Structure 1
Amino acid sequence: MSVSQLPDEARVLVIYTGGTIGMLLGGNRGGYVPEPYFLTEILKSQTRFHDPMQDSLFSNSSSVQGFRQFLSGGGGSGRSSPSPETTQFPQPTLLVRSTRPIGSATLSPNQKDGPPAPICVKVAENVYEAQLPSLLTPRASVSSSKSIRYAILEWQPLLDSSNIETEDWIRLATEIELNYSFDAFVILHGTDTMSYTSSALSFLLEDLGKTVILTGAQIPLSELRNDALDNLMGALTIAGNYIIPETSLFFNHTLFRGNRVSKVSSYDFAAFESPNFAPLVKVGIEITVNWNNVLRQTSLRRFRAHKEMSPHVATLRLFPGISSATVRAFLAPPIRGVVLESFGSGNAPQRADLILALKEACERGVVIVAISQCLKGTVSNAYEAGRELAAVGVIAGSDMTPECALTKLSYLLSKPELSVEDVRKLIGTPLRGELTRATAANLTQNSLEQNIENIQGLLSEFVRLSTRRFTSAGPQITISLPDGATQDAAASWTSTAAEAASTEGALLPFLIHAAAARNDVEALKFCIESEQGNDSISTPGPSNVASGLANTLDLTWGGSPLHAASLNGSAECVEILLHSGALVHLRDTLGHTALYYAARQGHQSIVDMLVQAGARLSGLDGGFAEMAAKTAAHNGDAGTLKLWVKAGVQVESPP
């Protein structure tokens, strides 16, 4: 039984590759082993992860009143009587696609019975689809505003992460592409090689516009005391409620950028660290998102999964006394790329034979990237030993992790359109926020006069847009200091730029929504430039606002500036917003995307732009759009029907 999507419901695909999180004791040698179907079955039994009737004690304990009503309704045993939907298949399903047959697991010798396998259909070469049973989380009152409906695509066989291969990274990227109609993705993975996978996926998932989170556990769900519960629930909550359009890794209440992490402990719950980049999200009493660090997608290309990685890459760790013969053998064909783990800030022994071996390899076309063996810090040219490497063609890898440098090199070398020089140039260029670009930024504070000038401009735009609906003329506001006042004596503006930024943060969301709705290009550019000129601006709004002013939500109807521009036919503003990081997958309170509104209003040029940027109709949008397309076909309205088809509606050909 397929189920339609509700406005306050997020759909997340969980791809379960294996790892400790779903293991049980009982291997041939008494160790942990993955067990088919165990993860799905245990999550079905826990009301925190599955309560479709919203009738459990957990779902009715958000308030005293709710708990008392639960008791008076006969639920005092701690959980109401289980319904067939919560305890057995079939139950509401979601359509999932995979590169392998779905549900064809071979049961273990001691397992006589298992849940019935879903009906799997081959729809194309190496593409299979099935309706998988869905699980539904309760609607939390504090940490989440949505219920999360999710399906678990379980790999067969399940893998220990030490057995992960390059082909598995490509499989993951492909399955995300095949199921891109889901709102977000959570990948369950073993911890040993999770940082390699998260780094690889950050590059393979090109122009990603949705949340992808890897997580796992140090202790499996089968143990009473474990970290699996918090890791999985935290990943689901973030994936279902926030659009963070990059590959990330969630562990121990922290969401990291996926290509910035390394595993640092085999026994602590804090198994991962991001030494050179602050976390994206911290989960404590509140969920705090560092939106200033979240990547903003500013290209107008559709999402695609790159499906190739070069196998001819390797990592060479320098050590005192390493011989040139060892280095020459390591750099011999078919090697095309090497990550050189150097000393300190990018230093190597200055022996002539060793430098010559590196130089010959570089001249032969081998791309050598120098990173630091230190956990923290970056490669620089502060020392003569480091400059010697650069002189022979070794590329500085800045502060990339070993996992990131290796997977980035493999990704770039797999692109036939890139020359060796192109690869060398791109290695030192941040493609997915994987390295810190060297800058000499001037961090001085704005002067008092500059703060006043900024606020004066904002207030003038505020009054103009408030009082003149479609004209650019309007009253001008002038703010001035009292005669003889100095910056030290101006009591209302004596702090840093914080007060000015808070004022801008209060006004800019109104301005950008009004400008987008009225196709006021100059006002929209003013807002974007104001934000870019002050990185400390924090725009108010719901907790699930995506990064940047271009994605701030209107508190009255939950729409973004892109929604407003698309609904009102403001084509020029749509283009500016897309180049400024506006997300095409954001939904308003009614569950609609900007593409739906543009198609409904008949704005063809906007539909073209949004589709080019990767927008697609799915979930609630898809149902309404199909009805609109059928109505247009019935009425003989070819123009409207063509527009809905362009937006992505599948129309059946007449028999």
Structure 2
Amino acid sequence: MTNEPNILLVYTGGTIGMVKDYKTNALRAFDFSQILEKIPELRQLNCSIDTVSFEEPIDSSNMNTKYYVKIAEIIEENYKKYDGFVVLTGSDTMSYVSSAISFMFENLQKPVIFTGSQLPIGDLRTDAKENLITSIQIACAHENGRPVIQEVGLYFEYKLYRANRTTKINAEQFEAFTSMNFPPLAESGVHLTFNKHLLIYKNDEKNALIFRKNLVEDIAILKLFPGITPQVIKAVLGIENLKGLILESYGAGNAPTEKWFISLLEKAIQDGLKVVNVTQCAGGSVILGLYETSTDLKNMGIINGKDITTETAVAKMMYLLGENLSQEEFKHYFESSLRGEIS
């Protein structure tokens, strides 16, 4: 590229944007408009970086769909102006928010890279600088005049993952995230290496970016455990206005075969509740009908989540519930890969 890429850095909150006041030892928000002064290495990337920050930084625990829409609106409003986007959020809910953004944009043809850190940017041994520098480098990467990454990614500790394949696995290690069912899209060592055969490429530039911001929050997650009682299942299924349920089952999608359990679930599905079966395991896939303990679920028309993560199942369900689909259409789209989220 002859013109240097323009990157927009969006800071929403989270550990990465904190600096220590050495007089008081308290943490305060970092001013990202001064990023080049604080991280002069960024000048070596030959790109121009603009920043936009939430007026009030959001702790990752307070992240919700209102903020998903706010992040997506910032990207939508600036989409034509910038070549790539780097979004900084708290790592605790990063898999949820980045997965949601992947569904909110249809025909995305530019990189949207989420990152953060385990230690504040001003800390002595911080991981923030490396995560930030490499995320911006990834967002700048072009080949034949086109961005190398044309999807939503999550970069942490030398690996770029497809965002909707990630799970946070560690609260203390720098390697906070993993993607159990899909390899990294890129790895950063001495060289930044892209696994190009894994990337989503869009050659049709005629398709305009479509922004979907109608997310339906009336959903619940039900994690099965040995000894779960009918009262618990009834209480969850009886939630007012409940439209979708993510059932975290055992192993390859197995659940109790007791009559009360099957009949409660069957009635909920017949009444129009969308129920998706995902595995509690960190890796692997739901295979309905593999064991007798999942045959009843298959027969009642439960939706097969396959190897989707719980975080992405939440995002996909909120997105699809906003699209006014029939039971059959909902099942078809949920079981299909829309953004590379299932194998």
* Same fold, judged at TM 0.5 (above): yes
Deviation at 1:225, TM superposition (A): 1.1
Aligned position for 2:57: 158
Q: For the aligned residues, what is the CA RMSD? A: 1.6
1:82-121 CA distance string (max 9 Å, x none): xxxxxxxxxxxxxxxxxxxxxxxxxxxxxxxxxxxxxxxx
Name the CA distance, whole Å, in 2 between partners of 1:257 and 1:223.
28
Aligned with 2:141 (options 232, 238, 241)? 241
Unaligned runs of 5+ in 1: 1-5, 50-136, 140-146, 437-655
Deviation at 1:296, TM superposition (A): 2.2
Aligned with 2:182 (options 262, 273, 277)? 277
Name the CA distance, whole Å, in 2 between partners of 1:42 and 1:187.
14
CA 1:267/1:198 → structure 2, altered by over 3 Å: closer, same or farther? same
Aligned position for 2:261: 354
Checking the alignment, whether the CA contact within 8 Å between 2:257 and 2:296 is kept in structure 1 is: yes
Aligned position for 1:574: none
Checking the alignment, whether the CA contact within 8 Å between 1:12 and 1:150 is kept in structure 2 is: yes
Name the CA distance, whole Å, in 2 between partners of 1:34 and 1:390.
52
Name the CA distance, whole Å, in 1 between partners of 2:168 and 2:327.
31
Aligned position for 1:47: 40
Aligned position for 1:289: 194
Checking the alignment, whether the CA contact within 8 Å between 1:18 and 1:34 is kept in structure 2 is: no
Q: Secondary structure at the match of 2:112?
A: strand
1:14 aligns with 2:9: yes
Deviation at 1:36, TM superposition (A): 5.5
Deviation at 1:298, TM superposition (A): 5.5
Checking the alignment, whether the CA contact within 8 Å between 1:34 and 1:158 is kept in structure 2 is: no
Name the CA distance, whole Å, in 2 between partners of 1:47 and 1:171.
29
Deviation at 1:24, TM superposition (A): 3.1
Name the CA distance, whole Å, in 1 between partners of 2:243 and 2:208.
30
Deviation at 1:396, TM superposition (A): 1.0
Write the mapping of 1:453-464 to structure 2, written as runs, cut at 5 A. Answer: none
Aligned position for 2:19: 24
Name the CA distance, whole Å, in 1 between partners of 2:115 and 2:72.
16
Aligned position for 1:184: 84
Aligned with 1:35 (options 29, 32, 43)? 29
Q: Which amino acid aligns with 2:34?
A: E
Checking the alignment, whether the CA contact within 8 Å between 1:23 and 1:32 is kept in structure 2 is: no
If you compute each CA radius of gyration, which structure gives the higher value, 1 or 2?
Answer: 1
Name the CA distance, whole Å, in 2 between partners of 1:34 and 1:409.
36
1:325 aligns with 2:231: yes
Deviation at 1:206, TM superposition (A): 1.1
Q: Provide the identity percentage.
A: 37
Q: Which amino acid aligns with 1:252?
A: E
Name the CA distance, whole Å, in 1 between partners of 2:25 and 2:273.
42
Q: Secondary structure at the match of 2:55?
A: strand
Deviation at 1:175, TM superposition (A): 1.1
CA 1:281/1:274 → structure 2, altered by over 3 Å: closer, same or farther? same
Write the mapping of 1:585-604 to structure 2, written as runs, cut at 5 A. Answer: none
Aligned with 1:303 (options 202, 209, 214)? 209
1:283-339 CA distance string (max 9 Å, x none): 111111111110122664211211110011121100111112211221223111111
Aligned position for 2:48: 149
Q: Which amino acid aligns with 2:59?
A: D
Number of aligned pairs?
332
Unaligned runs of 5+ in 2: none
1:41-74 CA distance string (max 9 Å, x none): 354233212xxxxxxxxxxxxxxxxxxxxxxxxx
Aligned position for 1:390: 298
Checking the alignment, whether the CA contact within 8 Å between 1:19 and 1:34 is kept in structure 2 is: no
1:213-245 CA distance string (max 9 Å, x none): 000000111112110010000000010124211
Aligned position for 1:208: 108
Write the mapping of 1:628-643 to structure 2, written as runs, cut at 5 A. Answer: none
1:4-51 CA distance string (max 9 Å, x none): xx934110000000100011347xxx98644252x33354233212xx
Name the CA distance, whole Å, in 1 between partners of 2:104 and 2:35.
32
Aligned with 1:407 (options 301, 315, 335)? 315
Q: Which amino acid aligns with 2:327?
A: V
Deviation at 1:200, TM superposition (A): 0.3
Aligned with 2:222 (options 291, 316, 325)? 316
Deviation at 1:138, TM superposition (A): 2.2
Determine which structure has greater relative contact order: mean sequence separation of CA pairs < 8 Å that are 6+ residues apart, divided by chain length: 2
Q: Secondary structure at the match of 1:408?
A: helix
Deviation at 1:420, TM superposition (A): 2.4
Checking the alignment, whether the CA contact within 8 Å between 1:36 and 1:158 is kept in structure 2 is: no
Name the CA distance, whole Å, in 1 between partners of 2:140 and 2:26.
30
Aligned with 1:265 (options 159, 166, 170)? 170
Write the mapping of 1:190-201 to structure 2, written as runs, cut at 5 A. Answer: 190-201=90-101
1:152-197 CA distance string (max 9 Å, x none): 1011101111111101111111111100120000001110000001
CA 1:246/1:278 → structure 2, altered by over 3 Å: closer, same or farther? same
CA 1:31/1:397 → structure 2, altered by over 3 Å: closer, same or farther? farther
